[in-house]
Structure 1
Amino acid sequence: MKRKELIILFWISMGTSLFFFFAFTDEKTIENFFLTVLISCMYSFVLGVGNGLINEFLNKRFPWSEATTKRAIISIISILIANIILVHFCNYMNFVVFQKAATTQEYFSGRYNFTNWFTINIALLISTFLHAKGFMEELKKTSRKEVVEQKLIAKSANAQFESLKNQLDPHFLFNSLNVLSSLIDENPTQAQKFTASMSKIYRYVLEQKDKELVTIEDEIEFAKTYCDLLKTRFEDSVNFIFDVKDEDLRRFVVPLSLQLLLENCIKHNLATSSKPLLIKIFTEGDTLCIENNLQIREQMKESAGIGLANIVQRYSLLTDKNVFIEKSEDYFKVKLPVLSEKPNTEKIDIQSQDKAYDRAKKRVKEIKGFYGNLISYCAVIPFLIFVNFYTQNNYYWFWWPLLGWGVGVASHAFQVFGIGTSWQEKKIREIMDKQKK
């Protein structure tokens, strides 16, 4: 235990000893005062340190954040057993060893059963408070940790997305300059036209590369302009077919995705006037498809893999929909998922945070309600027992509230920690996770 906690126990011992000395001690002597202090310190430190060590041990072995239900059950069992043992030990030392008010045989004959029972309930009340305090502290730490982790994940995803987008600028420029370099030697006139068109296209690249999504209409217009550049270089060796439905034009795709895929088609396939390369761009269901006939070119060097990999990664950061690739002996097709509306990332994050906060708030409220019920039980039942023994010794009516309320507390515990709604939700998530695998 920490030094601060030991100091608190010492001051509790002193306060308790002064109360009992002046309120219940008939002979107010120095010997009796020190005896009262010794007995108070024994109860405070044995029960306080014992429960504190148990709580610390359970925090290390069974943290609240990792095994809430298991920890709750183990806590209840351990504090019951530990407090029964510690209270019997303290009462034995008090009445048999220090005060010499009874012999060992008299103590275990049942004469002090009520005293033991009353003290055990007081100890359970204190122990419950310690465990509830430990739970709340653990909950605060876990909440802070989760918030920090979510912020780091968000920052990491944003940095990754920005890094992927920044690949587009130099990638497009590098490939365009390669085309221009080839045209200068092959056809200087076409090279001039290519340079003029390239400036327009590069302006679009600079405008769109910082956006998460663009309309299919904008992407198709850009792709057509880019196809004109490719036609400038390859002439009849490459043909393009656009067949996009009008109702799909206002939907969204990742920017510059068509340009990257068109580059891939040219890069990995042979294109000659006798065996032209045919590239089709069309919509199919909820996807935008880019398909070409296979005329695989032998690669002189390994591809950098920026194009398709870049698109797949950007989609994975924006949506759960996947990019599909189909390949046969005759054709190669890439299916890009199209979205009906732009996802408002900020709004989604806020909504998910609000839902998580509401769930956490509801959970904390349920657990606080249980501990409030348990603390009330531990406080009221000993008082009822005292009233029963003080007013009527023949009829032990305290058993009825003790057992009735005890069953209610037990069912409350199972509802909160074991077989309530949270348990059902947990099982549902487990089943869904198994089905996904």
Structure 2
Amino acid sequence: MKRKGFIILLWVTLGTALFFFLFFTKEKSFHNFLITLLISTMYSFILGLGNAFINDFLNKKFPWSETTGMRTVLSVVSIIIGNFILVYFCNYISYVEIQKVATAEVFFSKEYTTRNWFMINIALLISAFLHAKGFMEELKKTSRKEVVEQKLIAKSANAQFESLKNQLDPHFLFNSLNVLSSLIDENPIQAQKFTASMSKIYRYVLEQKDKELVTVENEIEFAKTYCDLLKTRFEDSVDFTFEVKKEDYRRYVVPLSLQLLLENCIKHNFATSSRPLVIKIFSDNDTLCIENNLQAREQMKESAGIGLANIVQRYALLTKKNVFIEKSEDYFKVKVPILSDKPNSNSVKTDNENGSYEKARKRVKELKSFYANLICYFTVIPFLIVINLMTSPQNLWFYFPMLGWGIGVASHAFQIFGVGESWKEKKIREIMDKQKNRNNGNLR
């Protein structure tokens, strides 16, 4: 028993001693008070420590959280037998040894049976209350433990998901710059068009990469723009077909999944004008399919390991539906699930503390998104300026992506630091405070 339990037993001993001394003792003397205190101490500590020992023993051997049914039966049996023995022992010491109002033969006769059973019933009620209290405390501990474990699991999954999403940003930028470098030598005019479109696409990447899911419609529109970039480079060597059902447009997929899968098709297959690579994007039975005719490259470049594995892992963290891969001698197909609803990851966080945490986390995400956009701007634009001045100094085309992307960065900054949600909340709070002060003034 813990220190708190001993303190409670001491207060119970003192309270019962005073109660019986004041209301049931005829001769009020110090000697009688000591006897009453001794008897109260005996009952309180023997019954208290006995039941505490039984409860602690059962908690170790048969915890409530693991063996609830068996523990209930054992608790009932143990408190009946235990209190029967303890009460008879305390009554025997009290009546025979301390007060000396009965002999051993009289105590075990019918004369004291009713009195003993009355004391046993009181002890059973108190003991049942204490065991029920212990059960509730154990239930609360188990519930708290489960909540903490679920939060840890959720945080771990969220951290893993964030790690997977953060692969997309540098991965896309790296591959896009590689394509641009190739185009500069092959076709400078097409490189200019590619650069102008890349800034628009990269903006989408920055906006969507922090989301768990996006609509099929948004992903298809982005994929079409990305396909235009690929057509800029490969011209008639690649061909794209989109046959997605209109009713699936309002459903959800993992963001940038199409871009990664389209990129895989280009990376793992060769494409020529005589043997074009045909890529089909269509919906089929709650899945979004990306299929291409198989024209595998003989010599593959070393892969970064990002792409299909990334999509599979992100879906695994969001749903039980699987990503399917089909491969034959003629074609390669990937099926990603189309989800009807967004997962509600914040349903557990309903109290004020978690609400504040969610607002803070959202604000941090917004700041991270802006600074990522700003860093990429000051990384890519100087690179484009150098390429422009080295290849065609008479034709300064870098102004277009610099101004277009710069306007986007300025708009992003104005949204975060100017008229964003935080600014709205501040204004609403100021208006409410003014109204509250005005009402208080009227009341005075």
Q: Could you report, residue by residue, the CA deviation over 1:103-128 in whole angstroms, capped at 9, with x for unpaired residues?
A: 33443344422122111111111111
Give the Cα–Cα distance (whole angstroms) in 2 for the partners of residues 107 and 161 of structure 1: 74
> What is the distance in 1 between the residues matched to 2:148 and 2:120?
42
- Other-structure match for 2:61: 61
CA distance 1:100–1:301, change in 2 (3 Å): farther
Evaluate the alpha carbon distance shift between residue 329 and residue 82 of structure 1 in structure 2; reply closer, same or farther with a 3 A threshold: farther
Aligned match of 2:292: 292
The 3 A distance-change label for structure 1 pair 96 and 298 is: farther
Q: Partners in 2 of 1:276 and 1:93 — Cα distance?
A: 102
Judging changes above 3 Å, is the alpha-carbon distance between structure 1 residues 229 and 18 closer, same or farther for their aligned structure 2 residues? closer
Provide closer, same or farther for how the CA distance between residues 220 and 112 of structure 1 changes in structure 2, counting only shifts above 3 A. Answer: same
Given residue 311 of structure 2, which amino acid in structure 1 is its aligned partner? I
Q: Which residue of structure 1 lines up, in the alignment, with residue 37 of structure 2?
A: 37
Cα 1:24–1:263 change in 2 (3 A) is same
Report the counterpart of residue 396 of structure 2 in structure 1: none
Asked whether the 8 Å contact 2:268–2:300 carries over to 1, the reply is no
> Structure 2: how far apart are the matches of 1:300 and 1:54?
71
- Whether 1:254 aligns to 2:254 is yes
Could you report, residue by residue, the CA deviation over 1:272-297 in whole angstroms, capped at 9, with x for unpaired residues? 34443221111112111001122333
Moved more, 20-29 or 67-76: 20-29
| Secondary structure of 1:333 counterpart | strand
- Give the conservation status (yes or no) of the 8 Å contact 1:268–1:299: no
Q: Distance in 2 between matches of 1:18 and 1:324?
A: 78
Alignment of 1:229-248 (within 5 A): 229-248=229-248
Instruction: Give the corresponding residue for 1:51.
Output: 51
Name structure 1 gaps, 5 residues minimum.
351-437
- Deviations along 1:332-391, one digit per CA (max 9) or x if unpaired, are 2111222345455546876xxxxxxxxxxxxxxxxxxxxxxxxxxxxxxxxxxxxxxxxx
Quote the offset at 1:79 in angstroms. Answer: 0.8
- 2:108 match: secondary structure: helix
In 2, the alpha carbon distance for the partners of 1:30 and 1:71 equals 46
1:373 counterpart residue number: none
How far apart are residue 196 of structure 1 and its match?
2.6
Question: Equivalences for 1:251-400 in 2 at 5 Å?
Answer: 251-298=251-298, 300=300, 302-343=302-343, 345-346=345-346
From the superposition, tell whether residues 246 and 36 of structure 1 become closer, same or farther in structure 2 (CA, over 3 Å).
closer
2:134 maps to 134
CA contact (8 A) 2:270 2:297 kept: yes
Normalising by the residue count of structure 1, what TM-score does the alignment of the two structures yield?
Answer: 0.72
SS in 2 for 1:306: coil
Matched with 1:168 is: 168
The letter for the 2-side match of 1:104 is A
Identify if the C-alpha distance between structure 1 residues 63 and 298 changes in structure 2 by more than 3 Å, giving closer, same or farther: farther
Distance 2:8 2:160 in 1: 51
Aligned-partner Cα distance in 1 for 2:257–2:31: 90
**2: CA distance between counterparts of 1:318 and 1:245?**
23
Residues 340 and 21 (structure 1), Cα distance of their counterparts in 2 relative to 1, 3 Å cut: closer
Residues 282 and 19 of structure 1: is their aligned pair in 2 closer, same or farther, counting only changes over 3 Å?
closer
Q: How big is each residue's C-alpha offset from its partner over 1:181-216, in whole Å with a ceiling of 9 and x where there is no partner?
A: 222333333333322332232222223323333332
**Paired residue secondary structure (2:307):** helix
Instruction: Give the aligned residue type for 1:305.
Output: G
Asked if 1:183 is matched to 2:170, the reply is: no
Q: Does 1:122 align with 2:132?
A: no
Structural RMSD (CA)? 2.7
Distance 2:347 2:180 in 1: 44
With over 3 angstroms needed to count, the CA separation of the structure-2 counterparts of 1:150 and 1:280, relative to structure 1, is same
Give the 3 Å change call, closer, same or farther, for CA 247–14 of structure 1 in structure 2.
closer
Partner SS, residue 112 of structure 1: helix
**CA deviation after TM superposition for structure 1 residue 230, in Å:** 1.9
Residues 248-289 of structure 1, C-alpha deviation per residue, up to 9 Å, x if partnerless? 333332221111001111222233344432211111121110
1:74 aligns with 2:74: yes
Question: What SS is found at the alignment partner of 2:240?
Answer: strand
CA separation of 1:39/1:326 partners in 2, compared to 1, >3 Å: closer, same or farther?
A: same
In structure 1, the residue matched to 2:17 is: 17
* Structure 2: stretches of 5+ with no match in the other structure: 351-444
Cα pair 2:51 2:127 within 8 Å, conserved: yes
Whole-angstrom distance in 1 between the partners of 2:194 and 2:244: 26
Q: Partner of 2:143 in structure 1?
A: 143
Classify the secondary structure of the residue corresponding to 2:101. Answer: coil
